[in-house]
Structure 1
Amino acid sequence: MNDTATYQGSCFCGAVQFTVNGKPEGMGYCHCASCRRWSAGPVNAFTLWKPDALRIIRGAEHIATYNNTEHSYRKWCTNCGGHLFTEHPHWGLTDVYAAVIDDFPYEPGLHVHYMESKLPMKDGLPKMQDLPKEMGGSGLSAAE
């Protein structure tokens, strides 16, 4: 993955278009109930970026926000309902959902909140009971 690469992404209908530049700070799978409900799937593939790596290039007026807690500001397109990203101000990171970035070389590094999993995945990646210590979690591993 190139430190200077630019990747394009969009919502489901294309009304919101954006780019991310460089390399993400981390990538993986989240199994928490909040991400599962938001994504309407059994697991969410995340890419974490510094906020300045994300640039909205079209359709900013179509972006709405919902926050269940002060830790996650979830963004979606008001035109199609397509999910885009989640701002995590307490970490200084933005989760741009891997599925909405075109041609992105997604390389997950771990699973977080694996104790909440509804879709066990035997892929050899580290499994965390909650989050790594540096992100405020216990840092404890879970069995695959």
Structure 2
Amino acid sequence: MSTTTYKGSCFCGAVELSVSGEPEAMGYCHCDSCRHWSAGPVNAFTLWKPEAVEVTKGMDNLVSYNKTPKSYRKWCKTCGGHILTEHPELGLTDVYAAILPELPFKPGVHVYYQEKVLRVHDGLPKFRDTPEDIGGSGITLEE
């Protein structure tokens, strides 16, 4: 059985990565940090086990910032294109959905919906923070 691999890159192509297999989860984050980082009203995420993510080009061009120990955000120092966020406490890496053009994005959840600035009516669960199994309250909100 072969493993599916998806490739992505930063805005200028100086940093490339690949992800293998299937993501652990896909969805939308509405938290203030992700909105500021992405410069948008919502951030589409794909969560992977760290061993499924490999920077294949430009590792020396990748820089990092962590506002909190929960998230290590990484981007290309040439173009500023965002690549991924490592979440060590969760044991997961978020590779931004927008940089994986071939991945069929199938969101299953909205997290931190309490912080939303854009209402979304799509029938997906809307968590106040995150599901219980990853340390959140598990409380859901109305669309």
Same fold (TM over 0.5): yes
Q: For the aligned residues, what is the CA RMSD?
A: 1.1
Partner amino acid for 2:135?
A: G
Supply the distance in 2 between the matched residues of 1:119 and 1:5 (Cα, whole angstroms): 33
- State the shift of 1:103 in Å: 1.0
Q: Give CA deviations for 1:74-133 in whole Å, capped at 9, x if unaligned.
A: 000000000000000001000000001121100000100001101110001111011001
Identity %: 59
Partner amino acid for 2:15?
A: V
| Count of paired positions | 143
Partner amino acid for 1:114?
A: Y
Paired residues for 1:1-144 under 5 Å: 4-144=3-143
- Give the TM-score, by structure 2 length: 0.98
Q: Quick check: 1:72–1:87 contact (8 Å CA) kept in 2?
A: yes
Partner amino acid for 2:19?
A: V
Partner amino acid for 2:43?
A: N
- Give the TM-score, by structure 1 length: 0.97
Supply the distance in 1 between the matched residues of 2:37 and 2:22 (Cα, whole angstroms): 25
Unaligned runs of 5+ in 1: none
Supply the distance in 2 between the matched residues of 1:143 and 1:130 (Cα, whole angstroms): 13
Supply the distance in 2 between the matched residues of 1:137 and 1:102 (Cα, whole angstroms): 30
Supply the distance in 2 between the matched residues of 1:10 and 1:135 (Cα, whole angstroms): 28
- State the shift of 1:16 in Å: 0.2
- State the shift of 1:3 in Å: 7.6
